[in-house]
Structure formats: C-alpha cells, structure tokens
Amino acid sequence: MTEPTFATLVSRWYEENARDLPWREPGVGAWAILVSEVMLQQTPVVRVLPAWRAWLDRWPDPAALAADTPAEAIRMWGRLGYPRRAVRLRDCAVAIVERHGGAVPDKLDQLLALPGVGTYTARAVAAFAYGQRHPVVDTNVRRVVSRAVAGEPDAGPATRPADLVACEELLPLEPAAAALAGAAFMELGAVVCTARSPRCPACPVESVCAWRASGQEAPAGPTRRPQRYAGTDRQVRGLLLGVLRETTGPVPHQRLDQVWSDDVQRARALAGLVTDGLVEPVGEAAFRLVGDGPATPLPRP
C-alpha cells in the first residue's frame, strides 16, 4: 500500500482539527475571503473576527464599498492596525467594479493586477475562494515547509521565490485537494508548528519531519526584534487618526495639536499620514480623513 503523502497527512489532520472560522464556511464568497485575507495580514484572528463581520455587514460586496468614501473605510477599519490596508481595499473594490463588473476575478493575473493585492493575497483568493491549485505561502507555511522538508528550524523573515516552489511541490495535482492542502499547511503552522513552542507530539507529520529527526531546538529568541510602540511616530499617527475618525469633516489644527506635545514629532506623523493617502489638508488650518466629503457613487453592476 502506498504511504500517504505529506499533503494527505496534513489535510486529514486539518479536516478534523481546523479552527471554526467564518470565512472558511461553505458558500462564503470570494469578496468575503479577500477581505479576510487583507485583514489577517500582521493581525491576530481574534482581532479580525469582529472587524470582518462589521465590514461585510456594511459592505457585503465590492460595489457597496466602492460607492462609499475612503474616509468611511478608514473609520470602519478602526484600530485594526496598518490603516493603509483600508484604503487599498477600497481602491481594490473600485477596480473590481470598473474592470470586472463587481465580481472578484478568478484568474491569478487579474487578481495580481488589483490595487493592494500582492503575491500572497492573490493566490489565497484563487485557492480558497475558487479552489485552484496555487502555492499559498505565508510565515506559517514557510515555517512548516522549512522544518518538515528542509530540516531548518526557521524560514527567515521574508518570502522568497524558492518558498513558492517548495510549497507547490508538496501540493496534490487535483486543484480542490491542493487548495485544501494549502489551507491545512497554514493552519498547522498557526496552531501546532509555532515559532517558539511547537507541539510536535500533536503534529500529523512528526514522523517524517526532517527538523524533528535532526534533533535541533527551536530558536531561543524571536527572528525579528519586536517593534517598540510607545512614544513612536506610529503611536502619534494612531492618536491623530483616532481624532479624525471620530469627527466628520475637517478638524482644526489646534485640536490635533492637543494630541501630542512634541511639535516636531506630531508634525512629522501628520505629514506621514498625508503622504500615505490617509489624511488630506483642508485650507491652511485643518485636516480631514481623505475623501471625507460627499461620495461619488459608482454604478452598481
């Protein structure tokens, strides 16, 4: 009898142990999956869940978001972090309406051409929404493949073309099975083959794991030093955005001056928000969220 493949072992484990997440439910559409993938970038699932539900309640399809303003997208994003994602997602919705009649495209090249959709997100939507065979590689997948196949304890901080090749080689040829395996690899890295405290006895591929066989220990410290937040420009940007989100229309400069006492740092943070397309000046003495005015409705498909 042929031994089960790596993908088969992980997929069987996934079907019995996967977390119950709403974007994985049968019948969830490509738009909902695209929103989840954008929100999950550098953000824990527990924070994404309520934001994802609220976002889709308000904008259940790309046309609904495209017809609203970038300012409202930033407001709805709240404190999810990295708010440029909200503007990029709204730009993506506009492009979907204008180029694809309001339907999220199912071809990889068309997904890659959408604003704010990169290599990972495009492949994730193609695989998880449309059941296609593409390697979907995030930090968790790279770690699983690096350990189990290459015998290395850590995959490093950035995705390389070789990571896509290594993952694709593990995928079944049948598209639906490949999509399932891609989700399974990701889940395994998220909940079992974790960076610092892997639960090897619970791993479905422990017996064939090259890293486990090598006897190497997990790295003692983080691959990347955690970024400091308190007192940084990032904190000041968040405080400024908080004031602007709570107000409709222009906010006087004097009100923003109360957010942070360091004039130089506050001005630098505000200038960065303008440069990033999140905030725009109104006259010489006020600022507002970008596009925080009457929406220009786009025709719904």
Whose tokens are 């005015």? That residue is 293
Q: Which has the closest alpha carbon to 106: 93, 91, 124, 92?
A: 124
Burial 232-246, CB ≥16 within 10 A → b, else e: ebbebbbbbbeebbe
At 82 the three-state DSSP class reads coil
Q: Which residue type, as a one-letter code, is found at position 147?
A: R
Cα first-last separation, the chain = 53
Distance, in Å, from the CA atom of 286 to the CA atom of 33, rounded to the nearest integer, reads 37
Q: How far apart are CA 252 and CA 288, in angstroms?
A: 9
E strands in the chain:
251-252, 279-282, 286-289
- Hey, which residues does 280 pair with through a beta bridge? 288
Could you give the 3-state DSSP secondary structure of residue 280?
Answer: strand
Q: Which residue has the tokens 């090749």?
A: 165
Cβ atoms of 121 and 109 within 8 Å: the answer is: no
Tokens of 122: 């495009």
Token reading at 293 = 């005015």
Q: Which residues are catalytic?
A: 37
